[in-house]
Amino acid sequence: MGTDDKSKNGEVEAIQTLCAANEVQLVNYLNALHIDNGLLINFGGETLECKRKYRVYKCPFK
């Protein structure tokens, strides 16, 4: 898979709240599959949580 691929990876959870382990698991999937970004979605808490994670760290202040 290259950067031109339109592949997406997502992790859907139904837990009370997302934790760091959930984010690490998604990043591990991204690394294993050579996908640049993915979504972590949790619909099990009081509100819907959605986080975008990247295989390579992207500074939000650039």
* Alpha helices for 2-56 (secondary structure H): 20-33
pLDDT of residue 15: 84
At residue 31 the predicted structure's pLDDT band, cuts being 50, 70 and 90, is very high
**Residue 28's pLDDT band (boundaries 50, 70, 90)?**
very high
Q: Indicate whether 3 pLDDT > 50.
A: no
| Section 1-23 average pLDDT | 71
Q: Please give the share of the chain, as a percent, with pLDDT higher than 70.
A: 81
8 has a pLDDT exceeding 80:
no
> What gap in Å lies between CA 56 and CA 22, rounded to an integer?
17
**CB-CB neighbours of 23 under 10 Å:** 14
